[in-house]
């Protein structure tokens, strides 16, 4: 399926870029590409987005595995539906698998922890905005803030997939509804009796009685009269011949 080709390509690209960063950069190193707006900054994320962690070590990895399996099962259910929608799901699946590899294996590969405790390698540093928050905003008003997400190819693939799902979901559902209506309309079509009996295990419908299939032909008037006269004569003779007690 083309979906798995897309997901596999995302995983390969993600892991190749992470291996390059691990080989040629040290932790917290930052290399400017487009001034302060775009840099390569090597960091490691032990949790989810924005470094959020929940539960004991390895909980995030287990939850990520469960979510990825659900995405894969859903892709299998819609495997024959609208292609752009399925491709968007493929980007989400590939990105999720790329980060799961980090969380499952990187602790052992980089020798800082057991399986399922690895940290996700991030290096694409984009400074979206920096400045002072207006004072009218409660709590944070007047503070200096910089929005600088640091992500990787897997994160970017997930974002692309989510945007694709949002764009194509309406067309996807419209096509599914049209298929259901067409299937229901096809189910109401007339079927031959032979096909109905074949469903019941019979090769053909049972033959109708011959009395119902042969038309009743009216007898000629002369023959009908002679026949009735003969019948009445025989009845009278039988009544005379019977002995009386």
- The catalytic residues are 122, 155
Neighbours of 71 (CB within 10 A): 18
Neighbours of 44 (CB within 10 A): 18
User: Which tokens hold the place of 144?
Assistant: 């200096």
User: What is d(CA 172, CA 156) in angstroms, rounded to the nearest whole number?
Assistant: 23
- Residue 206 dihedral angles phi and psi, to the nearest 5°: -65, 145
User: Which tokens hold the place of 29?
Assistant: 């190193």
Instruction: Considering only the C-alpha atoms of the chain, give the largest distance between any 2 of them, rounded to a whole number of Å.
Output: 138
Neighbours of 104 (CB within 10 A): 19
């Amino acid at each position: 399926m083309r979906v798995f080709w897309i997901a596999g390509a995302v995983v390969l690209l993600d892991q190749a870029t992470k291996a390059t960063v691990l080989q040629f950069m040290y932790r917290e190193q930052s290399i400017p590409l487009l001034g302060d707006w775009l840099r390569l900054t090597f960091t490691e994320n032990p949790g989810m987005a924005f470094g959020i962690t929940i539960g004991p070590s390895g909980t995030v990895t287990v939850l990520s595995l469960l979510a990825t399996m659900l995405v894969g099962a859903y892709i299998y259910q819609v495997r024959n539906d609208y292609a752009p929608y399925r491709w968007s799901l493929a980007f989400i699946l590939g990105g999720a698998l790329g980060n799961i590899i980090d969380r499952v294996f990187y602790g052992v590969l980089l020798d800082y922890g057991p399986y399922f405790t690895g940290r996700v390698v991030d290096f694409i540093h984009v400074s979206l905005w920096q400045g002072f928050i207006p004072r009218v905003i409660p709590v944070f008003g007047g503070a200096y803030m910089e929005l600088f997400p640091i992500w990787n190819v897997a994160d970017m693939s997930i974002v692309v997939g989510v945007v694709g799902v949002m764009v194509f979901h309406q067309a996807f559902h419209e096509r599914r509804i049209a298929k259901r209506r067409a299937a229901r309309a096809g189910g109401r079509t007339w079927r031959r009796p032979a096909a109905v009996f074949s469903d019941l295990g019979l090769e053909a419908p049972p033959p109708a009685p011959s009395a119902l299939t042969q038309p009743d032909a009216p007898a000629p008037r002369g023959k009908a009269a002679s026949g009735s006269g003969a019948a009445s004569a025989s009845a009278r003779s039988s009544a005379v011949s019977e002995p009386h007690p």
